[in-house]
């Protein structure tokens, strides 16, 4: 999968993709990330990427020209499955979005800033608008990193058996059961007997019960869907 990210703050996107699973996905050729600095496409002498909003009011708006220039260039080179705009007024990101987007060949992601992007970009180029929750971040970059992480780990071959996405919380609308590792006792705190019993059907049953209990207690909304 190829993902092109359009940003005015490329530095913010370096570290999230340079470790662990995101790095491995790129090293193994499953994920090709291209980060584009919108400022490089500014045509005026001050390299501005924003301007005052029509009608007045506080806050700058991301200008149409440099963003349109990159989008047009990229679209002329390949077909994009989606052109996504990261914005607090988008659809709230869910596992289902990540699952669907992980089947893409090419994605483009525009990171919003200031008061947002000129509406004509949204009308004419953007095919999907995504938010990562009901709070405001200073820019769309961290949200884009969250989205790309959620997608990339689902690309076939990125995760191995041990990190398999099939047993993730949310894949079956259930939270994950508690997990334990050695030692079997620490400070007198014991690992549940059933997990060291060796009885795999009992263990499976215990995990299902715990997942259901945890979901009922913490996220009853998931059980209503």
Q: Which residues bind ligand 6GU (CB under 6 A)?
A: 86-88, 112, 131-133, 135-137, 139-140, 143
Q: How far is the CB of 131 from ligand 6GU (least distance, A)?
A: 4
86 or 154, CB closer to ligand 6GU?
Answer: 86
Among 146, 151, 132, 149, CA closest to 88: 132
Q: How far is the CB of 206 from ligand 6GU (least distance, A)?
A: 36
Q: How far is the CB of 92 from ligand 6GU (least distance, A)?
A: 8
3-state secondary structure of 209: helix
Map 146-194 to HEC letters.
Answer: HHHHHHHCCCCCCCCHHHCHHHCCCCCCCCCCCCCCCCCEECCEECCHH
62 or 174, CB closer to ligand 6GU?
Answer: 62
152 or 159, CB closer to ligand 6GU?
Answer: 152
Written as six digits, the tokens of 216 are 């009922």
Q: How far is the CB of 126 from ligand 6GU (least distance, A)?
A: 12
63 or 87, CB closer to ligand 6GU?
Answer: 87
Task: Provide the 10 A C-beta neighbour count for residue 186.
Answer: 10
DSSP string, 111-135: EP-TT-B-HHHHHHT-SEEEESSSS
């Amino acid at each position: 999968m190829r993902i092109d990210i359009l940003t005015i703050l490329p530095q913010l996107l370096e570290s999230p993709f340079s470790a662990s699973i995101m790095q491995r996905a790129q090293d193994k050729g499953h994920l090709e990330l291209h980060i584009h600095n919108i400022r490089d496409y500014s045509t005026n002498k001050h390299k501005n990427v924003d301007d005052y909003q029509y009608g007045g009011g506080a806050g700058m708006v991301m200008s149409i020209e440099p963003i349109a220039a990159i989008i047009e260039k990229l679209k002329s080179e390949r077909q994009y499955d989606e052109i996504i705009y990261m914005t607090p007024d988008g659809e709230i990101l869910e596992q289902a979005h990540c699952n669907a987007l992980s089947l893409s060949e090419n994605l483009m992601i525009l990171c919003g800033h200031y008061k947002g992007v000129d509406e004509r970009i949204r009308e004419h180029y953007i095919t999907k608008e995504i938010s990562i929750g009901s709070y405001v971040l200073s820019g769309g970059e961290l949200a884009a990193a969250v989205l790309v992480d959620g997608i990339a780990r689902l690309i076939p071959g990125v995760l191995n058996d041990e990190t398999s996405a099939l047993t993730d919380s949310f894949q079956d609308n259930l939270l994950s059961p508690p997990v334990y590792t050695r030692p079997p006792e620490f400070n007198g705190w014991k690992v549940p007997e059933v997990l060291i019993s060796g009885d795999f059907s009992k263990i499976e049953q215990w995990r299902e019960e715990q997942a259901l209990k945890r979901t009922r207690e913490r996220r009853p909304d998931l059980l209503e869907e």
